[in-house]
Amino acid sequence: MSASSRQMHLNAFVLYCPAPVTRLSWVYPKDKVRHQWWEMGYWEEIATTLERGSFDALFFADNMGGYGSDADSIKFGMHFPLLDPAMLVPRLAAKTEYLGFVVTMSTTFVAPYHLARSMQTLDHVTEGRIGWNIVTSTNPHEGDNLDIELPAHDERYERAHEYMEVVYALWDSFEPDAMVMDHDNRIMTNPDKVHRIDFKGKWHASAGPLSVMPGPQGRPVLAQAGASEAGVSFAAKHAEMVFAPAGSDQQRREMVADLRTRASDQGRNPYDLKIMFTHGPIVADSTAEAAALQEEILGRPGYDADIAALRPPAGFDLSDLDPQTQLSEILPRVTGMRGPFEKAVEDDDPTLAEFASRFRNLAADSRFVGTPSDVADEFEALQDATDCDGFQFAPTYYPPDCYATIVDHLVPELQRRGRVRRGYTGPTLRENLLG
Ligand SMILES: Cc1cc2nc3c(=O)[nH]c(=O)nc-3n(C[C@H](O)[C@H](O)[C@H](O)COP(=O)(O)O)c2cc1C
Protein backbone atom coordinates (compact mmCIF):
# COMPACT_ATOMS: atom_id res chain seq x y z
CA MET A 1 0.00 0.00 0.00
CA SER A 2 1.49 3.38 -0.87
CA ALA A 3 1.57 6.17 1.68
CA SER A 4 -0.47 8.51 -0.48
CA SER A 5 -3.53 6.27 -0.42
CA ARG A 6 -3.52 6.17 3.35
CA GLN A 7 -4.83 8.59 5.93
CA MET A 8 -2.71 9.99 8.70
CA HIS A 9 -3.17 8.98 12.28
CA LEU A 10 -2.82 11.84 14.73
CA ASN A 11 -1.61 11.81 18.31
CA ALA A 12 -0.90 14.56 20.79
CA PHE A 13 2.30 14.43 22.83
CA VAL A 14 2.30 15.83 26.37
CA LEU A 15 3.61 15.20 29.86
CA TYR A 16 1.58 16.02 32.97
CA CYS A 17 3.82 19.02 33.64
CA PRO A 18 4.09 22.75 32.79
CA ALA A 19 6.16 22.57 29.57
CA PRO A 20 6.01 19.17 27.92
CA VAL A 21 8.29 19.69 24.96
CA THR A 22 9.22 23.22 24.04
CA ARG A 23 11.30 24.72 26.78
CA LEU A 24 9.63 27.44 28.83
CA SER A 25 6.47 27.09 26.78
CA TRP A 26 4.55 27.74 30.00
CA VAL A 27 5.56 31.40 29.66
CA TYR A 28 2.49 32.77 27.86
CA PRO A 29 0.53 36.02 28.04
CA LYS A 30 -1.29 35.85 31.38
CA ASP A 31 -4.51 37.31 30.00
CA LYS A 32 -4.76 34.41 27.54
CA VAL A 33 -4.34 31.71 30.20
CA ARG A 34 -7.80 30.30 30.91
CA HIS A 35 -6.59 27.45 33.13
CA GLN A 36 -3.26 26.85 34.85
CA TRP A 37 -1.47 23.68 33.78
CA TRP A 38 -2.37 21.79 36.97
CA GLU A 39 -6.08 22.64 36.76
CA MET A 40 -8.52 20.09 35.39
CA GLY A 41 -10.03 22.61 32.97
CA TYR A 42 -6.67 22.80 31.16
CA TRP A 43 -6.54 19.04 30.53
CA GLU A 44 -10.23 18.72 29.79
CA GLU A 45 -9.95 21.47 27.19
CA ILE A 46 -6.99 19.69 25.57
CA ALA A 47 -8.82 16.34 25.49
CA THR A 48 -12.11 17.66 24.09
CA THR A 49 -10.24 19.74 21.49
CA LEU A 50 -8.30 16.69 20.28
CA GLU A 51 -11.49 14.66 20.07
CA ARG A 52 -13.01 17.40 17.92
CA GLY A 53 -10.07 16.81 15.55
CA SER A 54 -10.55 13.00 15.51
CA PHE A 55 -7.12 12.43 17.09
CA ASP A 56 -6.38 8.80 17.90
CA ALA A 57 -4.89 9.53 21.28
CA LEU A 58 -3.50 11.87 23.84
CA PHE A 59 -0.10 10.44 24.71
CA PHE A 60 1.53 11.09 28.08
CA ALA A 61 5.27 10.61 28.16
CA ASP A 62 6.43 10.14 31.74
CA ASN A 63 9.18 9.15 34.10
CA MET A 64 9.74 8.81 37.82
CA GLY A 65 11.14 12.11 38.92
CA GLY A 66 11.24 14.54 36.02
CA TYR A 67 14.48 16.46 35.87
CA GLY A 68 14.21 16.95 39.62
CA SER A 69 17.84 16.24 40.41
CA ASP A 70 18.80 19.55 38.92
CA ALA A 71 18.13 23.04 40.38
CA ASP A 72 17.95 24.78 37.00
CA SER A 73 15.38 22.29 35.70
CA ILE A 74 13.26 22.90 38.79
CA LYS A 75 13.61 26.65 38.35
CA PHE A 76 12.72 26.69 34.64
CA GLY A 77 9.86 24.18 35.00
CA MET A 78 11.47 21.58 32.75
CA HIS A 79 9.56 18.35 33.30
CA PHE A 80 9.18 19.47 36.89
CA PRO A 81 6.72 19.41 38.62
CA LEU A 82 5.73 16.12 37.00
CA LEU A 83 2.50 14.41 38.07
CA ASP A 84 1.21 10.88 37.48
CA PRO A 85 -0.81 10.79 34.23
CA ALA A 86 -2.42 7.41 34.94
CA MET A 87 -4.40 9.19 37.68
CA LEU A 88 -5.54 11.93 35.29
CA VAL A 89 -6.70 9.69 32.46
CA PRO A 90 -9.96 8.44 34.07
CA ARG A 91 -11.14 12.02 34.47
CA LEU A 92 -10.35 12.84 30.84
CA ALA A 93 -11.97 9.62 29.65
CA ALA A 94 -15.16 10.67 31.43
CA LYS A 95 -15.17 13.93 29.45
CA THR A 96 -14.66 12.28 26.06
CA GLU A 97 -16.14 9.39 24.12
CA TYR A 98 -13.61 8.26 21.53
CA LEU A 99 -10.22 9.79 22.26
CA GLY A 100 -7.60 7.23 23.28
CA PHE A 101 -5.06 7.74 26.08
CA VAL A 102 -1.55 6.35 26.06
CA VAL A 103 0.34 6.30 29.35
CA THR A 104 3.99 5.51 29.90
CA MET A 105 5.20 2.90 32.37
CA SER A 106 8.65 1.42 32.67
CA THR A 107 9.58 -2.24 32.40
CA THR A 108 12.58 -1.43 34.57
CA PHE A 109 10.75 0.23 37.44
CA VAL A 110 7.22 -1.23 37.64
CA ALA A 111 6.57 -4.86 38.61
CA PRO A 112 4.90 -6.82 35.77
CA TYR A 113 1.88 -7.77 37.87
CA HIS A 114 1.35 -4.16 38.91
CA LEU A 115 1.59 -3.05 35.29
CA ALA A 116 -0.75 -5.76 33.98
CA ARG A 117 -3.33 -4.93 36.64
CA SER A 118 -3.19 -1.13 36.23
CA MET A 119 -3.42 -1.29 32.44
CA GLN A 120 -6.28 -3.77 32.41
CA THR A 121 -8.14 -1.66 34.98
CA LEU A 122 -7.57 1.46 32.88
CA ASP A 123 -8.97 -0.38 29.88
CA HIS A 124 -12.20 -0.84 31.84
CA VAL A 125 -12.25 2.71 33.19
CA THR A 126 -11.67 4.26 29.74
CA GLU A 127 -14.05 1.75 28.11
CA GLY A 128 -11.39 0.42 25.79
CA ARG A 129 -9.35 3.51 25.07
CA ILE A 130 -6.07 2.84 26.85
CA GLY A 131 -2.59 2.33 25.44
CA TRP A 132 0.72 1.62 27.17
CA ASN A 133 3.94 3.31 26.07
CA ILE A 134 6.55 0.70 26.93
CA VAL A 135 9.80 2.26 28.06
CA THR A 136 12.90 0.66 29.52
CA SER A 137 13.97 4.07 30.99
CA THR A 138 17.20 5.95 30.51
CA ASN A 139 17.60 8.24 33.50
CA PRO A 140 19.54 6.91 36.52
CA HIS A 141 17.81 9.55 38.67
CA GLU A 142 14.59 7.55 38.33
CA GLY A 143 16.39 4.53 39.74
CA ASP A 144 17.69 6.64 42.61
CA ASN A 145 14.13 7.62 43.47
CA LEU A 146 13.01 3.99 43.53
CA ASP A 147 16.16 2.42 44.95
CA ILE A 148 16.55 0.35 41.79
CA GLU A 149 19.81 0.43 39.88
CA LEU A 150 19.32 1.16 36.17
CA PRO A 151 20.70 -1.88 34.30
CA ALA A 152 22.90 -1.40 31.21
CA HIS A 153 21.11 -0.48 27.97
CA ASP A 154 20.86 -3.86 26.21
CA GLU A 155 20.14 -5.73 29.41
CA ARG A 156 17.16 -3.40 29.95
CA TYR A 157 15.74 -4.66 26.65
CA GLU A 158 16.46 -8.33 27.46
CA ARG A 159 14.58 -7.85 30.69
CA ALA A 160 11.81 -6.06 28.82
CA HIS A 161 11.28 -9.02 26.45
CA GLU A 162 10.88 -11.32 29.44
CA TYR A 163 8.67 -8.72 31.09
CA MET A 164 6.33 -8.87 28.09
CA GLU A 165 6.11 -12.65 28.41
CA VAL A 166 4.90 -12.20 31.99
CA VAL A 167 2.34 -9.51 31.24
CA TYR A 168 0.96 -11.36 28.20
CA ALA A 169 0.60 -14.48 30.37
CA LEU A 170 -1.13 -12.46 33.08
CA TRP A 171 -3.53 -10.82 30.63
CA ASP A 172 -4.31 -14.25 29.17
CA SER A 173 -4.66 -15.87 32.59
CA PHE A 174 -8.23 -14.63 32.90
CA GLU A 175 -10.19 -16.04 29.95
CA PRO A 176 -12.59 -13.60 28.26
CA ASP A 177 -15.69 -15.68 29.10
CA ALA A 178 -14.59 -16.67 32.62
CA MET A 179 -16.79 -14.17 34.43
CA VAL A 180 -20.31 -15.53 34.13
CA MET A 181 -22.24 -13.68 36.88
CA ASP A 182 -24.57 -16.66 37.24
CA HIS A 183 -26.99 -15.48 39.95
CA ASP A 184 -28.97 -18.73 40.04
CA ASN A 185 -25.95 -20.92 40.73
CA ARG A 186 -24.06 -18.27 42.69
CA ILE A 187 -21.06 -18.29 40.36
CA MET A 188 -19.36 -14.99 39.68
CA THR A 189 -16.33 -16.36 37.81
CA ASN A 190 -15.69 -19.87 36.53
CA PRO A 191 -12.47 -20.97 38.28
CA ASP A 192 -11.66 -23.39 35.43
CA LYS A 193 -11.17 -20.38 33.18
CA VAL A 194 -8.82 -18.45 35.42
CA HIS A 195 -5.27 -19.79 35.54
CA ARG A 196 -2.14 -19.48 37.57
CA ILE A 197 0.84 -18.70 35.39
CA ASP A 198 3.66 -19.64 37.80
CA PHE A 199 6.12 -17.69 35.67
CA LYS A 200 9.72 -17.92 36.78
CA GLY A 201 12.18 -16.23 34.45
CA LYS A 202 15.70 -14.91 34.74
CA TRP A 203 14.55 -11.55 36.06
CA HIS A 204 10.83 -11.74 36.68
CA ALA A 205 8.45 -14.07 38.46
CA SER A 206 4.72 -13.99 39.03
CA ALA A 207 2.22 -16.60 40.18
CA GLY A 208 -0.99 -15.20 38.71
CA PRO A 209 -3.78 -15.27 37.87
CA LEU A 210 -4.36 -11.61 37.18
CA SER A 211 -7.22 -10.39 39.35
CA VAL A 212 -8.72 -8.28 36.55
CA MET A 213 -10.98 -9.63 33.82
CA PRO A 214 -10.07 -8.59 30.27
CA GLY A 215 -11.16 -5.06 29.36
CA PRO A 216 -12.92 -4.11 26.11
CA GLN A 217 -9.64 -4.27 24.16
CA GLY A 218 -8.41 -7.50 25.76
CA ARG A 219 -5.10 -5.82 26.36
CA PRO A 220 -3.97 -2.21 25.96
CA VAL A 221 -2.66 -0.89 22.67
CA LEU A 222 1.13 -1.22 22.90
CA ALA A 223 3.30 1.75 21.99
CA GLN A 224 7.07 2.08 21.98
CA ALA A 225 9.80 4.54 20.97
CA GLY A 226 13.08 2.66 20.84
CA ALA A 227 15.78 4.00 18.55
CA SER A 228 18.67 1.59 19.15
CA GLU A 229 19.12 -1.82 17.53
CA ALA A 230 17.66 -3.44 20.66
CA GLY A 231 14.86 -0.87 20.80
CA VAL A 232 13.85 -1.26 17.16
CA SER A 233 13.73 -5.05 17.31
CA PHE A 234 11.62 -4.78 20.47
CA ALA A 235 9.18 -2.47 18.66
CA ALA A 236 8.97 -4.78 15.65
CA LYS A 237 7.97 -7.64 17.91
CA HIS A 238 5.60 -5.95 20.35
CA ALA A 239 4.50 -2.45 19.34
CA GLU A 240 1.31 -1.45 17.55
CA MET A 241 2.20 2.23 17.67
CA VAL A 242 5.79 3.39 17.24
CA PHE A 243 7.07 6.88 18.01
CA ALA A 244 10.04 7.03 15.69
CA PRO A 245 12.96 9.39 16.34
CA ALA A 246 13.75 12.50 14.30
CA GLY A 247 16.15 12.46 11.37
CA SER A 248 16.47 13.43 7.72
CA ASP A 249 13.75 12.23 5.32
CA GLN A 250 16.17 9.61 4.03
CA GLN A 251 17.00 8.35 7.54
CA ARG A 252 13.30 8.23 8.38
CA ARG A 253 12.42 6.38 5.23
CA GLU A 254 15.05 3.76 6.00
CA MET A 255 13.86 3.53 9.60
CA VAL A 256 10.26 2.96 8.55
CA ALA A 257 11.21 0.38 5.92
CA ASP A 258 13.46 -1.41 8.41
CA LEU A 259 10.71 -1.53 11.04
CA ARG A 260 8.19 -2.89 8.55
CA THR A 261 10.61 -5.57 7.36
CA ARG A 262 11.38 -6.60 10.90
CA ALA A 263 7.66 -6.73 11.77
CA SER A 264 7.11 -8.88 8.70
CA ASP A 265 9.93 -11.19 9.81
CA GLN A 266 8.02 -11.59 13.08
CA GLY A 267 5.00 -12.81 11.10
CA ARG A 268 3.15 -9.55 11.55
CA ASN A 269 1.38 -7.41 8.96
CA PRO A 270 3.92 -4.59 8.56
CA TYR A 271 1.11 -2.04 8.38
CA ASP A 272 -0.25 -3.13 11.75
CA LEU A 273 2.64 -1.13 13.13
CA LYS A 274 1.55 2.50 13.13
CA ILE A 275 4.72 4.51 12.83
CA MET A 276 4.54 8.17 13.79
CA PHE A 277 6.94 11.08 13.84
CA THR A 278 6.77 13.75 16.50
CA HIS A 279 6.52 17.36 15.32
CA GLY A 280 5.79 20.71 16.85
CA PRO A 281 4.33 22.62 13.91
CA ILE A 282 3.69 26.33 14.20
CA VAL A 283 0.55 27.30 12.36
CA ALA A 284 -0.90 30.80 11.89
CA ASP A 285 -3.09 32.72 9.44
CA SER A 286 -0.14 34.11 7.50
CA THR A 287 3.46 33.09 6.87
CA ALA A 288 4.71 36.27 8.59
CA GLU A 289 2.59 35.62 11.67
CA ALA A 290 3.82 32.04 11.91
CA ALA A 291 7.44 33.16 11.57
CA ALA A 292 6.97 35.79 14.29
CA LEU A 293 5.38 33.19 16.57
CA GLN A 294 8.28 30.83 15.99
CA GLU A 295 10.79 33.55 16.80
CA GLU A 296 8.99 34.30 20.04
CA ILE A 297 8.77 30.61 21.02
CA LEU A 298 12.36 29.72 20.23
CA GLY A 299 13.79 32.99 21.51
CA ARG A 300 12.43 32.51 25.02
CA PRO A 301 14.95 30.12 26.57
CA GLY A 302 18.58 31.23 26.94
CA TYR A 303 21.84 29.28 27.10
CA ASP A 304 21.37 28.51 30.82
CA ALA A 305 18.02 26.79 30.16
CA ASP A 306 19.39 25.10 27.03
CA ILE A 307 22.29 23.57 28.88
CA ALA A 308 20.19 22.51 31.88
CA ALA A 309 17.86 20.65 29.54
CA LEU A 310 20.73 18.67 28.05
CA ARG A 311 21.82 17.30 31.40
CA PRO A 312 19.38 14.34 31.63
CA PRO A 313 19.88 13.09 28.07
CA ALA A 314 23.66 13.55 28.42
CA GLY A 315 23.75 11.97 31.86
CA PHE A 316 26.08 14.63 33.29
CA ASP A 317 26.27 18.36 33.96
CA LEU A 318 27.55 20.25 30.90
CA SER A 319 27.38 23.76 32.33
CA ASP A 320 31.14 24.03 32.95
CA LEU A 321 32.06 23.12 29.37
CA ASP A 322 33.06 25.73 26.82
CA PRO A 323 29.95 26.41 24.70
CA GLN A 324 32.16 26.28 21.59
CA THR A 325 33.26 22.65 22.22
CA GLN A 326 32.52 20.36 19.28
CA LEU A 327 29.86 17.77 20.10
CA SER A 328 32.14 14.93 18.94
CA GLU A 329 34.46 15.75 21.87
CA ILE A 330 31.54 15.42 24.30
CA LEU A 331 29.93 12.31 22.80
CA PRO A 332 32.17 9.74 24.56
CA ARG A 333 30.88 10.94 27.93
CA VAL A 334 27.17 10.75 27.00
CA THR A 335 25.42 7.98 28.92
CA GLY A 336 21.69 8.84 28.68
CA MET A 337 19.89 9.13 25.35
CA ARG A 338 22.84 8.85 22.97
CA GLY A 339 20.78 8.73 19.76
CA PRO A 340 20.30 12.48 19.16
CA PHE A 341 23.95 13.21 20.05
CA GLU A 342 25.20 10.52 17.68
CA LYS A 343 22.98 11.74 14.84
CA ALA A 344 24.11 15.35 15.24
CA VAL A 345 27.81 14.37 15.25
CA GLU A 346 27.20 12.29 12.15
CA ASP A 347 25.30 15.13 10.41
CA ASP A 348 27.39 18.27 11.07
CA ASP A 349 29.17 17.95 14.43
CA PRO A 350 27.82 21.24 15.86
CA THR A 351 29.20 23.16 18.82
CA LEU A 352 27.63 22.50 22.20
CA ALA A 353 25.84 25.88 22.12
CA GLU A 354 24.40 25.23 18.67
CA PHE A 355 23.30 21.70 19.56
CA ALA A 356 21.73 22.81 22.85
CA SER A 357 19.69 25.50 21.12
CA ARG A 358 18.36 22.95 18.60
CA PHE A 359 16.77 21.14 21.50
CA ARG A 360 14.59 24.15 22.38
CA ASN A 361 11.73 22.58 20.60
CA LEU A 362 12.24 18.96 21.61
CA ALA A 363 9.90 17.92 18.85
CA ALA A 364 12.99 18.70 16.83
CA ASP A 365 11.45 19.98 13.67
CA SER A 366 10.69 23.63 13.45
CA ARG A 367 10.64 23.13 9.69
CA PHE A 368 6.86 23.15 9.61
CA VAL A 369 5.99 26.76 10.16
CA GLY A 370 3.39 28.61 8.12
CA THR A 371 -0.22 28.77 7.08
CA PRO A 372 -2.44 25.68 7.43
CA SER A 373 -1.99 25.03 3.74
CA ASP A 374 1.85 25.31 3.87
CA VAL A 375 2.07 23.02 6.88
CA ALA A 376 -0.40 20.51 5.42
CA ASP A 377 1.83 20.38 2.30
CA GLU A 378 4.82 19.55 4.51
CA PHE A 379 3.07 16.75 6.39
CA GLU A 380 1.69 15.25 3.18
CA ALA A 381 5.14 15.33 1.60
CA LEU A 382 6.73 13.82 4.68
CA GLN A 383 4.25 10.97 4.81
CA ASP A 384 4.79 10.27 1.13
CA ALA A 385 8.57 10.46 1.45
CA THR A 386 8.82 8.18 4.46
CA ASP A 387 5.78 5.86 4.31
CA CYS A 388 4.98 6.70 7.96
CA ASP A 389 1.45 6.29 9.31
CA GLY A 390 0.95 9.62 10.94
CA PHE A 391 2.18 12.29 13.27
CA GLN A 392 2.37 13.09 16.89
CA PHE A 393 1.93 16.81 17.54
CA ALA A 394 3.80 18.32 20.44
CA PRO A 395 2.58 21.69 21.72
CA THR A 396 5.01 24.55 21.11
CA TYR A 397 3.04 26.96 23.34
CA TYR A 398 0.08 26.95 25.77
CA PRO A 399 -1.33 23.53 24.79
CA PRO A 400 -5.07 24.32 24.92
CA ASP A 401 -4.52 27.12 22.36
CA CYS A 402 -1.82 25.36 20.36
CA TYR A 403 -4.01 22.27 19.88
CA ALA A 404 -7.07 24.40 19.12
CA THR A 405 -5.14 26.05 16.27
CA ILE A 406 -4.02 22.68 14.94
CA VAL A 407 -7.49 21.14 15.24
CA ASP A 408 -9.45 24.10 13.87
CA HIS A 409 -7.05 25.13 11.06
CA LEU A 410 -4.55 22.43 10.11
CA VAL A 411 -6.75 19.34 10.59
CA PRO A 412 -9.63 20.69 8.41
CA GLU A 413 -7.10 21.40 5.65
CA LEU A 414 -5.81 17.81 5.89
CA GLN A 415 -9.39 16.54 5.97
CA ARG A 416 -10.24 18.49 2.80
CA ARG A 417 -7.33 16.70 1.14
CA GLY A 418 -8.64 13.33 2.35
CA ARG A 419 -5.58 12.79 4.55
CA VAL A 420 -7.27 12.86 7.94
CA ARG A 421 -10.52 11.11 8.72
CA ARG A 422 -13.63 12.98 9.79
CA GLY A 423 -14.84 11.28 12.93
CA TYR A 424 -14.02 7.94 14.52
CA THR A 425 -14.46 4.43 13.21
CA GLY A 426 -15.15 2.65 16.49
CA PRO A 427 -15.37 3.00 20.24
CA THR A 428 -11.93 1.60 21.15
CA LEU A 429 -8.45 2.98 20.58
CA ARG A 430 -7.36 -0.19 18.76
CA GLU A 431 -10.30 0.01 16.33
CA ASN A 432 -9.52 3.64 15.54
CA LEU A 433 -5.83 3.00 15.17
CA LEU A 434 -5.86 -0.31 13.30
CA GLY A 435 -9.42 -0.68 12.05
C1 LIG B 1 8.37 10.35 21.05
C2 LIG B 1 9.15 9.71 22.15
C3 LIG B 1 8.59 9.55 23.41
C4 LIG B 1 9.30 8.98 24.46
N5 LIG B 1 8.72 8.90 25.70
C6 LIG B 1 9.45 8.42 26.74
C7 LIG B 1 8.90 8.40 28.03
O8 LIG B 1 7.77 8.81 28.25
N9 LIG B 1 9.65 7.94 29.04
C10 LIG B 1 10.92 7.46 28.86
O11 LIG B 1 11.55 7.02 29.81
N12 LIG B 1 11.46 7.46 27.61
C13 LIG B 1 10.76 7.94 26.59
N14 LIG B 1 11.32 7.96 25.33
C15 LIG B 1 12.64 7.35 25.13
C16 LIG B 1 12.49 6.00 24.47
O17 LIG B 1 11.70 5.12 25.24
C18 LIG B 1 13.85 5.37 24.20
O19 LIG B 1 14.51 5.06 25.41
C20 LIG B 1 14.74 6.31 23.40
O21 LIG B 1 14.07 6.64 22.19
C22 LIG B 1 16.10 5.70 23.10
O23 LIG B 1 15.96 4.48 22.40
P24 LIG B 1 16.66 3.19 22.92
O25 LIG B 1 16.08 2.96 24.29
O26 LIG B 1 16.31 2.12 21.95
O27 LIG B 1 18.13 3.49 22.99
C28 LIG B 1 10.62 8.54 24.26
C29 LIG B 1 11.21 8.68 22.98
C30 LIG B 1 10.51 9.27 21.94
C31 LIG B 1 11.16 9.41 20.60
Which tens digit of pLDDT belongs to each residue from 118-132? 999 999 999 999 999
By alpha-carbon position, which residue is closest to atom 7 of ligand 1? 61
- In angstroms, what CA-CA distances link 115 with 86, 109, 157? 11, 10, 17
200-221 pLDDT tens trace: 999 999 999 999 999 999 999 9
Domain that holds residue 405: 3-291+363-434
- In angstroms, what CA-CA distances link 46 with 8, 71, 75, 326, 398? 20, 29, 25, 40, 10
Query: Rounded to 5 degrees, what are φ and ψ at 66?
Result: 60, -150
Instruction: Please tell me if the CB atom of residue 62 comes closer than 6 angstroms to any atom of ligand 1.
Output: yes
- DSSP three-state, residue 41: helix
Best probe residue, ligand 1, of 11, 64, 138 (max atoms within 8 Å of C-beta): 138
Are residue 281 and residue 306 in the same domain, yes or no? Answer: no
Q: Is residue 185 part of a domain?
A: yes
Instruction: Please tell me if the CB atom of residue 137 comes closer than 6 angstroms to any atom of ligand 1.
Output: yes
Are residue 216 and residue 308 in the same domain, yes or no? Answer: no
| Residue 145 pLDDT > 50 | yes
Best probe residue, ligand 1, of 135, 161, 392 (max atoms within 8 Å of C-beta): 135
Residue 435: band (very low, low, confident or very high) from pLDDT cuts 50, 70, 90: confident
Residue 81: band (very low, low, confident or very high) from pLDDT cuts 50, 70, 90: very high
Instruction: Please tell me if the CB atom of residue 225 comes closer than 6 angstroms to any atom of ligand 1.
Output: yes
| Residue 239 pLDDT > 90 | yes
By alpha-carbon position, which residue is closest to atom 18 of ligand 1? 226
Handedness of CA 46, 49, 55, 57 (dihedral sign): positive
14-49 pLDDT tens trace: 999 999 888 888 999 999 999 999 999 999 999 999
* Counted domains in the chain: 2
Looking from the CA of residue 156, the nearest atom of ligand 1 is 25
Distance 135 CA to ligand 1 centre (A): 6
Instruction: Please tell me if the CB atom of residue 138 comes closer than 6 angstroms to any atom of ligand 1.
Output: yes
Domain boundary among 314, 339, 359: 359
Are residue 237 and residue 317 in the same domain, yes or no? Answer: no
Q: Is residue 297 part of a domain?
A: no
Domain boundary among 359, 375, 394: 359
Are residue 201 and residue 313 in the same domain, yes or no? Answer: no
Give the residue, 311 or 108, on which the prediction is more confident: 108
Mean pLDDT of 382-392: 96
Q: Residue 6: what pLDDT? A: 81
Q: Is residue 296 part of a domain?
A: no
Distance 263 CA to ligand 1 centre (A): 19
Are residue 193 and residue 213 in the same domain, yes or no? Answer: yes
Are residue 63 and residue 129 in the same domain, yes or no? Answer: yes
Beta bridge partners of residue 273, listed in sequence order: none
What does the alpha-carbon distance between residue 28 and residue 18 come to, in Å, rounded to a whole number? 11
The residues, any chain, with a CB within 8 Å of residue 386's CB and separated by 6 or more, are 3, 249, 252, 253, 255, 256, 277
**For the chain, first and last CA: distance in Å?**
15
Distance 233 CA to ligand 1 centre (A): 14
Instruction: Please tell me if the CB atom of residue 227 comes closer than 6 angstroms to any atom of ligand 1.
Output: yes
Are residue 192 and residue 341 in the same domain, yes or no? Answer: no
**CATH code of the domain in which 280 resides:** 3.20.20.30
